[in-house]
Chains A and B, each alone.
Chain A
Amino acid sequence: MTTTSIRVAETPLVLYALRRADDALVLGHRLSEWCGHAPALEEDMALANIGLDLLGQARSLYGYAAEVEAAGHNEDDYAFHRDAPQYRNLLVAELPNGDFARTILRQFFYAAFADLYWRAMMASPHSTLAAIAAKSEKETAYHLRHSAEWVIRLGDGTEESHRRAADAVAYLWPYTGEMFEADAAERALIDAGTVLDPASFRDAWDKTVSDILAEATLEKPAAGWMQQGGRSGRHSEHLGHLLAVMQSVPRAIPGASW
């Protein structure tokens, strides 16, 4: 049985919130897939903590989107009743976990950006967004530290871990450009001073990434073509499968409370 999805009035601020909420939800969902399967019990705890933080961020941001959209939608409507083309997350978030190296490098690349972004957003004149940023910033600072420490150990560990880490860097690199992009809708918000221009964090991000990769004895890839599309709903093949699993129960019994 299928249910029709909700229609969202994607005004700039709603779109902005959904984009970041989707990043957090999709990435949090991916991390939750590790639960019970991590390389060590202590890491199972860590990945679950990060997943929970991201789920919390997603919920705050969906809550905010609901408020702004004012169409009677709630967090679960957005999460479980939008199809893949309506999702607005970065492509990097929806990629399969792969091995621990790929998961850690993905977390590192994303957290290195999110940490800068949320810290700066704490000063946003928009009080709700500033509050969300303040909470998220503390969490993301830890995600960055956790993933960076592992990047170093994997890169500068054994031959095998180095190879896997290098493969992960190469695989993920083309997906690291999208986080700095802003389209016309977001540009309007940036010009109004409500949100920050993600491109303004590129240099700082690059420095963090360069420093950690160097310490990890990993090569930073040369500049090249960057994959895009997630922000406007043009996703990889992976998101469809992810959502098919994630949304299966509520879609099977429409209108039910869980």
Chain B
Amino acid sequence: MSTQATKTITPLWEVFIRSRNGLAHKHVGSLHAADATLALQAARDVYTRRGEGLSIWVVPSNAITASDPGEKGMMFEPAESKIYRHPTFYEVPDEVGHM
């Protein structure tokens, strides 16, 4: 039926938005666009219609390297036992005030 028309493959981009009060860009989804300019425009049109965004990042999906979830143990558990990295590990007398 429309096999000719579906031949054009438009690249996939991941979209990250930092909201008005946000501190970091959050992944909100993906979209298809031919280049970065169109991707940014599309992200604005698709993902910020309710005032969600103040800053948009678009990244080609194939540029993202993700950790292997099967290696969660190796990648992340060693950090769990190093509790001296957490502020709560250390005791500071109340008289000193907030630190």
Contacts and interface: CB of A to CB of B under 8 A. Distances in A.
A–B touching in complex (CB under 8 Å) = yes
Interface of A: 40, 42, 45-46, 49, 142, 145-146, 149, 153
A45 B46 contact: yes
A42 B37 contact: no
14 contacts: A42-B31, A42-B32, A42-B33, A42-B38, A42-B42, A42-B45, A45-B42, A45-B45, A45-B46, A145-B41, A149-B37, A149-B38, A149-B41, A153-B38
A46 B47 CA distance: 11
Nearest to B46: A45
Given A40-B10, A149-B37, A149-B38, A46 B32 contact: no
Q: How big is chain B's contact interface, by range?
A: 10 to 19
B49 A46 contact: no
Is chain A's binding surface mostly helix, strand, loop or mixed? helix
Interface string B5-37: 000001000000000000000000001111001
Contacts of A42: 31-33, 38, 42, 45-46
Q: Sorted from nearest, which 3 A-B pairs have the closest CB atoms?
A: A42-B42, A45-B45, A46-B45
B42 A49 contact: no
Interface of B: 10, 31-34, 37-38, 41-42, 44-46, 49
A145 B32 CA distance: 19
A28 to B, nearest CB: 16
Contacts of A40: 10, 32
B11 to A, nearest CB: 12
A230 B80 CA distance: 72
Contacts of A145: 41
Contacts of B46: 42, 45
A49 B10 contact: no
B61 to A, nearest CB: 15
Nearest to B48: A49
A52 to B, nearest CB: 9
A146 B41 contact: yes
A98 B20 CA distance: 39
A138 to B, nearest CB: 13
A145 B34 CA distance: 16
